[in-house]
Amino acid sequence: MPKQKTHKGLKKRVKVTATGKVKRGRTGAGQLMSGKNAKRRRRVSSSTMMTSTGAKAARTGLCQ
């Protein structure tokens, strides 16, 4: 039986840390930044960790 392939779209969007947490970028930072206030622009520029249920699904998608 062949090996499961990694989900390439997910691989480009998330990264697994050394402790096994899944790190992702925040949404809303793609375009139209001039219409957003400075506090919101700073917040969306940083990355964050996924929730436990989303991270579990992401790890299985990355490890296939």
51 falls in which pLDDT band (50, 70, 90)? confident
All structural domains of the chain with their residue ranges? 8-63
- pTM, two decimals, is 0.71
Q: What is the CATH code of the structural domain delimited by 8-63?
A: 4.10.410.60
Q: Which residue has the higher pLDDT, 22 or 61?
A: 22
Percent of the chain residues topping a pLDDT of 90: 41
Is 23:48 a contact under the CB 8 Å cutoff? Answer: yes
H and E: helices and strands count for the chain: 3, 3
- The rounded distance, in Å, linking the Cα atoms of 16 and 58 is 9
Cα dihedral value 58, 60, 63, 64, nearest 10 = -120
Give me the sign of the Cα torsion angle 49, 40, 44, 53.
Answer: positive
